Structure 1
Amino acid sequence: MRKFTDYFLQYVLTDRRRPAENRVRVGQNLMLLSIFFFFIFMINFVIIIGTDKKFGVDLSEGAKQVYQRTQTVAARRGTIYDRNGNVIAEDSTTYSVYAIIDKNYVTATGEELFVKADQYGQVADIFKKYLKLEKDYVLKQLSQEGLTQVYFGVKGGNLTYSTMSNIKKAAESAGVKGIAFETSTSRMYPNGTFASQFIGLAQTQEDKDGNKHLVGTTGLEAAFNDILSGTDGKITYQKDKNGNTLLGTGVQVSKAINGKDIYTTLSEPIQRYLETQMDVFQSKARGVQASATLVNAKTGEILATTQRPTFNADTKEGLTEDFTWRSALYQTNYEPGSTLKVMTLASSIDAGVFNPNEIYNNSSLTLIDATIRDWSVNDGTSTGGYMSFAQGFAYSSNIGMTLLEQKMGEDKWLNYLAKFRFGFPTRFGMGNEATGLMPADNIVSIAMSSFGQGIAVTQTQMLRAFTAISNDGVMLEPQFISRIYDPNTDSSRVSQKEEVGHPVSKQAASQTRDYMVTVGTDPNFGTLYSKTEGPIIQANNQSVAVKSGTAQIAAEDGSGYLTGPRDYIYSVVAMVPSDNPDFIMYVTLQQPQEWSGLFWKDVVNPVLEEAILMKDTVLSPVENPSKTSSPYQLPDVLGESPGDTADELRRNLVHPVVLGSGSKISKLSVKPGSDLKENQQILILTSNLENVPDMYGWTKKNVEVFAKWMGVEVSFKGSSSGKVIQQNIDAGTSINKLKKISVTLGD
């Protein structure tokens, strides 16, 4: 500091002049300083004008915050309908009740606006009447200390306008202050318990800006969240100097784009009826899990599906802490048991090794170190005997199916399983799908798979395979979306059935259904024939093709199978009418506390009869009032997961054909960015293709694309257009051996 003082004095005293000269000198210095500050100002002015920023701060945005207010305009979430336009899920305004208990909450004039302690009993009575809340619970909530307001759990939220109004009026009549309501947009499920796990839930979530949105969290609501949710818009309003919004100054910054509406393939009346009958079925059997699905046999459309335990999507009743959200339809792997014998029989007929009159002994069969026995020998009701292969199927003989598998040979049987697409998830659009598992690479496991053990499946995989039997050998993709409607453009995408293979011939499928009829009609061998009541599965006196199953449950620790008296998965499949099926129904029941095969009558028979009565309605194509088709562009998915891509494409009603089992997409038959029409078929080549694919249903153009990819010579027979109905190289043949291929096209 001393040095600084010395320097300053030296500067001041050096070159001292007369007062007049000093004044001139000071003036010159001030002029130079003014010029310097002027240039600094000009430079800052140019920077501000040119960049609209100062010290990294956006000045226009700051001004807007002072004089403008931006408000989010929420987009409407798309409505979910059944196939005929009945609402399954839609947006609604709901209310949550709360009570103010802060004794300091008074007006300027001293009016008390809180619930007084001597009014707690009245509030409890009101809530018991309108919310079904226990009085003790309400009193406990109101008596909490240190809080300003209290809420009342699940039953106190998601209230309708009617319930809110009744509570409000009751509180006013009782002179109770402090009962208030929060308003929010929520999702309403007017049917309550209605395919609840499959449809799922959309719940309110808050983003980083404090805006609340409905977001799908489970089921279809989650899988189709991007399609249903839409995009919020924004409006700006001018504010005065005091921060008050000026009316009439609103300017639309961006328009809200409402979500698209989804029309499912479900039939509301049949779904309601299925829910009722499943309650009856489950009340008797009391299984750990039960499920049932009804499918259009000619299109693969899911007409109704449900499971137990379930929940009421509107009231949330049934959602306990231990509730499992997994959908039994597509998220659970299990060993299917004897219902898979339907595919074993069809494969053996197609392979030419099934002789219905050939006799065998069903007492036991030894394979290496394993002994296979029929169910009656295992439970001690029989010591075995002689029967024909036709009788063995009706009897659900494990030994009969194993002998047929041995006649086909391991490689051929595994090839049939691959043709039925076991081991491959359906990728039907829901996402988070279980994959299933092919049998282990050993003689015993492969043999056991012929009667549905040692192989893991999902219900959608089983339904996909069953369609090949019901649809004369042509296998169909399970579908649950009939139409996607865009209200912003008044356009739609409408689904059509998707053929995904031809594992067995028409004759093999037809004969298999005939043998399935004997399962329910043969009084000596049929497992679904009751000695006292006759055929267990019946539907309006129509012939029904059926098959029952009883599968052991593998222990989670891999130590073998559970050994309890009810540690089984019971199942049944029914196709009606058997000669030309309209409907497939598949029901499973896991570990029931009580069991009788007669229980199937409580759920299968009435639902099939109801479906038959409504046949003309539920089997007719869905009408499309829109005159234009909604556009959809293929994203750039090269290098992405083929499975996830297939799900996304099917959500937009495109038909992907995934080739191989690689983890990444290497080629596409359509360029990314191209417009894809509804139901357009697109080839997806993965990084690992080892076998010739089943080309049934492929377009001529896609066959040519595939041949170019593989460097294969292709020739065509039949019609000049149409789709593939036959190929001369069997699906499953090593792709390395493929040099030429001939395909037949037809309509």
Structure 2
Amino acid sequence: MKAPRNKRSMGKKNPRWNRQVFGGFFLFILVVVFLLFVFRFSYIVISGHVNDENLTQKASALYDSSTVLRAKRGTIYDANGAPIAEDSATYSVYAVLDKNYTGINDKKLYVTDKAKVATILSKYLPLDKAAILKRLNPANSKTFQVEFGSAGKGLSLTIKQAINKANLNGVYFTETPSRLYPNGIFASHQIGLAQQQNATTKGGTAQNLAGVMGLEKTLNSTLTGTNGVKKIKEDSYGYQLPHTQAKQKAAKNGQDVYLTLDSRLQTYLETLMSNVQTKYQPEQLNAVLMNPKTGQILAASQRPTFNPETGSGLGSFWRDTLVGDSYEPGSVMKIFTLASAIDAGKYQPDTPYQSGQVTVGGTTVHDWNQTGWGTIPLSKAFPLSSNVGFVKIEQTLGKDKWLEYLKKFQFMSKTKSLLSGEVSGSIQFEHTSDQAVTSFGQGINVTVMQMMQGFTAIANNGKEMQPQIVSKVTDPTTGKTTKYKPHQVGTPISKSTASQVLQDMQDVTYKSYGTGLSYQIPGYKIATKTGTAQISNPNGGGYLTGDNNYIFSVVGMAPASDPKYVLYITMKQPQNMSQPASEILSEIFNPLMKRALDYDSGTSTADTQTTMPSISGKTVSAATAALTKAGIQTVQIGTGDTVVQQMPLANEVILDDQRAMLLTNGAMTMPDVTGWSKSDILKLAELTGKQITIKGTGYATKQSLAAKGLLNSAKTITVTLSKP
């Protein structure tokens, strides 16, 4: 008889028992997991958080939409309230080709009629229909959208609206904030430039404008506003959810800035400067017209310059040379030497001296004509601009007293005129020879604005006024106005001294031996002083040589008895010096000073000058008719029937012999430039964006691309000038 089996051994081999054990264990695990899930779910429901994230906020964010409300940048106005720089927008056009791009109810949002799109766009873009069709039929059939290169960018609101009227499926625009400079070249380096930058706010990222040079930069915090934000709840189609309200924080616009510039005088100065630049090709040219009683700058410009509206000419030359460049002023500095000696009681006009040359501290100083004028009284040293005479005057004054007066006139100190990039200047004053040559403007480095500030003391009874270009700032939100009052920085000389210097400056203009005979203006008394300064050799070794390697200058004050205007012009290294320097500078000085004086006396007829109307977006026939009626010559550049760009820009002054260039839609074509000046050809290059090489001087006689030839087909274009 067999022995009975162990019960435990039997249980382990019993499948039913094993299943029961495993089932119970699995059920236990499921209950635990379920309880954990219930606990976790209950926690989430009660707390509304997962991993420290607020689910309520996260779910709400799925429907939240935030839009940045861009603040308007403040406008810059001239003295009469005309805008110089203001907020605007440009537009870029693009076309969606992807047939999957549809809206509600399968509305087609892509281009459905390429031929129609090409026809309409060719009316407003400088591209012909064939070129546009080629872009609308790219090699890659999966292309989502196409753009139209530079031809489709920078479009005006007028052109955008005209294209929109055609209701083209699949054609869209992107808006870019921009700065409008309606006057084109207009104190460009002084006004400056504002460009785009990305600004991040709670509402998202927006493109804002920021000043990068000139007053746009120095007053950036004043001009820049604060962006706002608009928040709404919307569905997947972009519509606001019912029973919800928009939350909005309004944008705060920037403040408006009013300048002292007079557009009538500023525009005229720019025209005169451009003419001299074209004819004589100086390396640099500066001019400032100021009211010496207040220090207010009425007109200011420089060459090289640029057009802030188009960017043409900007390149790498970003300096405001009126404050950013220091230079040796030459004989114009004799005004301050003479004033210092008179004021100190050290000027003895009847004392004779031997002109021609003098040796000081081992250095020989020559008069500008080398041989001098024999033995003459010191009273003739100023109108003759004798360097030797002024060395004598400086020696009588004494080096310490002379340096004291230089500091009284605020040289070697910034004027703080709000113009950007200002430097302080410098002086070499260690040796006796250094001290001597500063008397006639060598060995001392100044800025144009330092000179203008000093000139006010002569023209304003000894009171020296800080140069001022901003007159007031207004807040459009609050209506608050902050006025900039004229600021006197010192009284370096007495009233009687200033009067005596003005009288001696008249001798420069009217004495037969004066150096300023070219600056006489019939009907007005003008006090002047001329200057011819040597230029330091940048490679060392003294000064540059050659007839044109100088900084030529003139300052004039009028009316001489009680000046209301001070005009200072400097010209560096004219490359085509076909006239004496005084004659060249008089081409700016005389007409501008006369116009200012005429305005003051109420006798000016300049208000009848022709200004360029706005013709962009008009048909060629309508634009031509309007310009012809105004007596303006027109040149069409392009095969189309609609004007897409114009040169000059709207509201610019048109000279009697100036051409208005009309760039149309369609293919760009070369005009017949026979008889054109260099200035006109440069404007053609600016308008078309083509590189044109100019050879010779005078007026155009040959062109490498024939009239009506396609500009886009020519790699290089050469225009030859010849003198008549």
TM, length-normalised to structure 2: 0.71
Q: How does 1:253-402 map to 2 (within 5 A)?
A: 253-319=248-314, 321=315, 323-377=316-370, 382=371, 384-402=373-391
The answer to whether 1:511 aligns with 2:500 is yes
What letter matches 2:232 in structure 1?
Y
Does residue 190 of the first structure (1) align with residue 172 of the second (2)? no
Report the secondary structure of 1:304's partner residue. Answer: strand
Q: Is the 8 A contact 1:97 1:152 kept in 2?
A: no
Corresponding residue for residue 590 of structure 2: 605
What's the CA shift string for 1:663-713, capped at 9, x where partnerless? xxxxxxxxxxxxxxxxxxxxxxxxxxxxxxxxxxxxxxxxxxxxxxxxxxx
CA distance in 2, matches of 1:137, 1:370: 71
Counterpart selection for 1:560 from 528, 538, 542:
542
TM-score by length of 1: 0.69
Offset, 1:589: 0.8
1:479 aligns with 2:468: yes
Q: Helix, strand or coil: the match of 2:66?
A: strand
SS of structure 1 residue aligned to 2:322 = coil
Distance 1:391 1:90, change over 3 A: same
Q: For 1:263, give the aligned amino acid.
A: Y
- 2:62 is aligned with 1:70: no
Q: 1:99 to 1:363 in 2, by over 3 A?
A: farther
Structure 2: distance between partners of 1:237 and 1:429 = 43
Unaligned runs of 5+ in 1: 1-11, 530-535, 619-747
Residues 522 and 559 of structure 1, relative CA distance in 2, 3 Å threshold: same
User: What's the CA shift for 1:241?
Assistant: 6.9
Is residue 553–residue 585 contact of structure 2 (8 Å, CA) maintained in 1? no
Q: 1:94 maps to what in 2?
A: 90
User: How many angstroms apart in 2 are the aligned matches of 1:137 and 1:454?
Assistant: 61
Matched, 1:162 2:158: yes
Confirm whether residue 200 of structure 1 aligns to residue 192 of structure 2: yes
Q: CA deviation at 1:56?
A: 4.7
2:528 corresponds to: 546
CA distance in 2, matches of 1:309, 1:140: 40
Which residue of structure 2 lines up, in the alignment, with residue 149 of structure 1?
146
- Give, in angstroms, the shift of residue 110 of structure 1: 12
Query: Structure 1, residues 339-375: CA drift from partner, whole Å, max 9, x if none?
Result: 1111111111111111111111122111223111111
CA positional deviation for 1:576? 0.7
Which AA in structure 2 matches 1:192? G
3-state SS, counterpart of residue 282 of structure 2: coil
What does residue 562 of structure 2 align with?
580
Match of 1:80 in 2: 76
Is the CA contact 2:135–2:146 (under 8 Å) kept in the aligned structure 1? no
Go from structure 1 to structure 2 and tell me whether the alpha carbon gap of 1:605 and 1:59 turns closer, same or farther (over 3 Å shift): farther
Please report how far the alpha carbon of residue 274 of structure 1 lies from its aligned counterpart in structure 2 after TM superposition: 1.3
Shift of the 59–554 alpha-carbon distance from structure 1 to 2, 3 Å rule, reads farther
Give the aligned residue type for 2:451.
M
Distance 1:163 1:70, change over 3 A: closer
Cα distance, 1:144–1:313 mapped onto 2, change above 3 Å: farther
User: Which residue does the alignment assign to 1:718?
Assistant: none
Task: Measure the CA separation in 2 of the matches of 1:455 and 1:201.
Answer: 32
- SS of 1:211's equivalent? strand
With over 3 angstroms needed to count, the CA separation of the structure-2 counterparts of 1:144 and 1:569, relative to structure 1, is farther
**Aligned-pair CA distance for 1:33:** 9.4
User: Which residue of 2 is the match for residue 406 of structure 1?
Assistant: 395
The whole-number CA distance in structure 2 between the counterparts of 1:27 and 1:179 is 64
Cα separation, 1, equivalents of 2:117 and 2:66 = 42
Q: Distance in 2 between matches of 1:407 and 1:472?
A: 24
Amino acid of the structure 2 residue aligned with 1:295? M
**What's the CA shift string for 1:242-282, capped at 9, x where partnerless?**
76433784534422101111110011111111112222332
Cα deviations across residues 714-736 of structure 1 (Å, max 9, x unaligned)? xxxxxxxxxxxxxxxxxxxxxxx
Mapping 1:646-657, distance limit 5 Å: none
2:487 pairs with 1:495:
no
Taking structure 1 as reference, are residues 307 and 242 closer, same or farther at Cα in structure 2, changes over 3 Å only?
closer
How many residues get paired?
576
Q: Distance in 1 between matches of 2:535 and 2:54?
A: 65
- In structure 2, C-alpha distance between the alignment counterparts of 1:178 and 1:194, rounded to whole Å: 40
CA distance in 2, matches of 1:141, 1:318: 31
- Structure 2 residue 437 is matched with structure 1 residue 448: yes
Amino acid at match of 2:363: A
In structure 1, C-alpha distance between the alignment counterparts of 2:231 and 2:101, rounded to whole Å: 35
Measured after TM superposition, the shift of residue 28 of structure 1 is 11
Determine if contact 2:217/2:420 at 8 Å carries over to the other structure. no
The Cα shift of 1:396 comes to 1.1
Corresponding residue SS for 1:512: helix
Aligned to 2:612: none
Look up the equivalent residue of 1:375 and give its one-letter code. Answer: W
Letter in 2 for 1:303: L
Does the Cα contact within 8 Å between 1:422 and 1:438 map onto a contact in 2?
no
User: Given residue 371 of structure 1, which amino acid in structure 2 is its aligned partner?
Assistant: T
SS at match of 1:482: strand
- Cα distance in 2 for partners of 1:249, 1:396 equals 82
Deviation, structure 1 residue 75: 0.9
Q: Give secondary structure in 2 for the equivalent of 1:349.
A: helix
Q: Are the equivalent residues in 1 in contact too, given 2:474–2:482 (CA < 8 A)?
A: yes
2:690 is matched with none
Instruction: Select between 440-449 and 393-402 the one with higher mean Cα deviation.
Output: 440-449
Between the aligned partners of 1:499 and 1:34, the Cα distance in structure 2 is 86
Aligned partner of residue 434 in structure 1, secondary structure: coil
Letter in 2 for 1:355: Q
Residues 478 and 58 (structure 1 numbering): CA distance in 2 closer, same or farther, change over 3 Å? farther
The answer on whether the counterparts of 2:361 and 2:431 sit within 8 Å (CA) in structure 1 is no
Specify the code of the residue in structure 2 equivalent to 1:95. Y
CA separation in 2, counterparts of 1:134 and 1:557? 53
Identity, % of aligned positions:
37
User: Is the 2:529–2:556 Cα contact (8 Å) retained in structure 1?
Assistant: yes
Structure 1 Cα separation of the partners of residues 234 and 187 of structure 2 = 49
